[in-house]
Structure 1
Amino acid sequence: MTASDTRSRFKAKLLRPAKPGGDSLWAFVVLPEHVSAKLPRRGRTTVEGSINGHAFRATLEPDGQLSHWLQLNEELLKAAGANIGDEASFELMSVAQEPEPDMPSDLQEALAASPEARAVWEDTTTIARLDWIHWITSAKQAKTRVKRISDACDMLASGKRRVCCFDPSGYYSKALSAPKAAD
């Protein structure tokens, strides 16, 4: 599948999250099923696209329903001349090569302390590293995150290249979902 095979155009209403967290304004859209179905994976996926003709690059999050959702920050909304509640025009396609994910500092420190785990980490694929990071950062509690980092280092040090116990789509575990929209 080439990136152009994943190209889709659609319109969607910009939703306000019920619990936005933080001080910044942001909106989101849930991708239509037919758009998400064209993407190469149900987990986190990086896309290039446009909203109302304004280009962007973003990582889609899985919605737990075998689809994805997209967060739109205030800067992108302003640049696209879009407001929460508007219907916006989108064009999306997956990137040809998934970019290297940002590694959280706590995971970076743990891998630095375990040369065996670090060696396997560096020998895995970008998608595998993305899944490891997603598994760790999707923990809802700090103690769960700490345990997942420890478990990840143990699994990697033993030669395990993929996280075994994580459904990156959230479909089977229902661990992942799109934000709830405000009324």
Structure 2
Amino acid sequence: MSKPTALIKFKAKLSRPATPKGAAWTFLVLPAVASAKLPTRSMVTVEGSFAGQPFQATLEPDGQGSHWLKIDNVLREAAGVAAGDSVALEIAPVEKEPEPKVPADLRKALASNADAKATWADITPVARRDWIHWITSGKKAETRGKRIAAACDKLACGKRNACCFDRSGMYSKGSMGAPEAAE
């Protein structure tokens, strides 16, 4: 049985992203000392409190060895905070990673390939999340389509994880990272 991770407590500044202009959501970057207490530099789902409000979310790697968190308006408003505020958080990794939301185009492709679907059903939620992230991180629709086809081919051959995918964002050129904060 694994030892539960201690509660990680910290404060971080809430920012509005520079793009897209007029974005309704906000974000924060975890302090390096808080991020270092997490079990991985890649995506990790946590639960805890955001300015006293309970939440569960998946932290994204910032490409600098830390993590960032997107805050939706519902949580931000419930906490009574705004962009520019310093917010107190208490987090811990979840015991079991939740199932990722499978995009409709990938779901359709898997449904039409029994071997790929069988491997998909047999891999972990973290591996499924990595496949989804690799597919959706392509900037062009054409790239996404190619990645879906490649993923289905690889899954059909029994490949269980996305190859050559930098889960931390530290070694890829800008494909992962925290948003730039608006001035």
> Which TM-score bucket, shorter chain as reference?
over 0.9
Closer, same or farther in 2 for the Cα pair 1:166/1:28, shift >3 Å? same
Residue aligning to 1:4? 5
Secondary structure, counterpart of 2:5 in structure 1: helix
What CA deviation, in whole Å up to 9, does each residue of 1:26-60 have, x standing for no partner? 11101111211221222221110211111111111
Corresponding letter in the other structure for 2:8: S
Residue aligning to 1:81? 80
Residue aligning to 1:14? 14
Residue aligning to 1:72? 71
What CA deviation, in whole Å up to 9, does each residue of 1:132-166 have, x standing for no partner? 11111111111111111000001111111111121
Instruction: Name the Cα RMSD after superposition.
Output: 1.4
- Contact map agreement 2:17 2:23 (CA 8 A) in 1: no
Residue aligning to 1:41? 40
Q: CA deviation at 1:12?
A: 1.0
Corresponding letter in the other structure for 2:152: C
- Contact map agreement 1:2 1:96 (CA 8 A) in 2: no
Runs (4+) off by over 2 Å: 1-5
Partner Cα separation in structure 1 for residue 85 and residue 12 of structure 2: 8
Secondary structure, counterpart of 1:173 in structure 2: coil
Q: CA deviation at 1:24?
A: 5.4
Partner Cα separation in structure 2 for residue 105 and residue 3 of structure 1: 35
Residue aligning to 1:178? 178
Corresponding letter in the other structure for 1:95: V
Alignment TM-score, normalising by the size of structure 1: 0.94
Matches within 5 A, 1:111-126: 111-126=110-125
Mean Cα displacement is larger for which, 132-141 or 23-32? 23-32
Secondary structure, counterpart of 2:138 in structure 1: coil
Residue aligning to 1:134? 133
Matches within 5 A, 1:96-111: 96-111=95-110
Q: CA deviation at 1:4?
A: 3.0
Secondary structure, counterpart of 1:4 in structure 2: coil
Corresponding letter in the other structure for 1:4: T
Q: Which runs of 5+ in 2 are unaligned?
A: none
Alignment of 1:30 onto 2:29: yes
Alignment TM-score, normalising by the size of structure 2: 0.94
Corresponding letter in the other structure for 2:27: F
Residue aligning to 2:145? 146
Partner Cα separation in structure 1 for residue 157 and residue 45 of structure 2: 29
Partner Cα separation in structure 2 for residue 90 and residue 120 of structure 1: 37
Q: Which runs of 5+ in 1 are unaligned?
A: none
- Contact map agreement 2:16 2:23 (CA 8 A) in 1: no
Percent same amino acid among aligned pairs? 55
